[in-house]
Amino acid sequence: MDKQQQILITMQDYANTHKVPIISREGGRLLQKVTAAAKPVSILEIGTAIGYSTLLLAAAMAPNGKITTIEQDGARLEIASNFLAQAGKLEQVTMIAGDAGEVLPALTGSFDLVFIDAAKGQYLDYLYKVMDKLLPGAVIIADNVLFRGWVLDDSNAPRRFRTIIKRLKAYLDFVTKDKRFKTVVHHNGDGMAVSHYQGRANI
């Protein structure tokens, strides 16, 4: 087992012990498969948590790739920084502390892969705010889009989750119907939407 694999296992244990939500192993495999196929050089991650998916992305991106990751919990960001340093990936990662909804409009540069795994009710808002920063052919990956299956069938969903479910449905509706995107929704883990941006020519 290599060092990075050992660190990922340590991160899984930490997440379980401290009840930190991280991408499922099934979802993580799909994330790495899509990333490896895209060979992105400039990645934006919305929702760092303890850096588990950041490390998965770093391992699968182009060798000269860079990741910008946003997290509003400063304590988690510090933990993520330590894990990424142990894995030797910290130099490739720019960490930004703050609310993604406020940080995104101020970001400069363009991205060829965006991974969304933050506040589920804000996915569509995040996408709107990053669209002018997408390179033609960029890949947008959104995790947890089926939210315990309730996005497909919300008949038994608790009332407190209705707004999140409604907003996730709106996100999926947008990326599956807007001609600027070609989207496949995978049922891996808690559901993952993989959208390929068709470029600004179709706007």
Domains and CATH numbers, the chain: 3-197 (3.40.50.150)
Structure confidence at residue 202 as a pLDDT band (50, 70, 90): very low
Residue 193's alpha-carbon distances to 6, 19, 89, 114, 116, in angstroms, are 28, 24, 26, 12, 10
CA distance 93 to 187: 29
So what's the pLDDT on residue 203? 43
The helix-helix angle for 3-18 and 74-86 (nearest 10°) equals 160
- Bridge partners (DSSP) listed for residue 34: none
* Number of Cα atoms under 13 Å in the Cβ half of residue 117: 30
Structure confidence at residue 24 as a pLDDT band (50, 70, 90): very high
- The pTM for the full model equals 0.94
Mean pLDDT of 95-100: 96
Structure confidence at residue 1 as a pLDDT band (50, 70, 90): low
Mean pLDDT of 2-30: 93
pLDDT at 168 > cutoff 90: yes
Strand pairing category for 42-46 and 66-71: parallel
- Cα-Cα end-to-end distance for the chain: 47
CA distance 116 to 48: 10
Q: What stretches of 19-147 show up as alpha helix (H) in DSSP?
A: 25-38, 52-60, 74-86, 100-103, 123-130
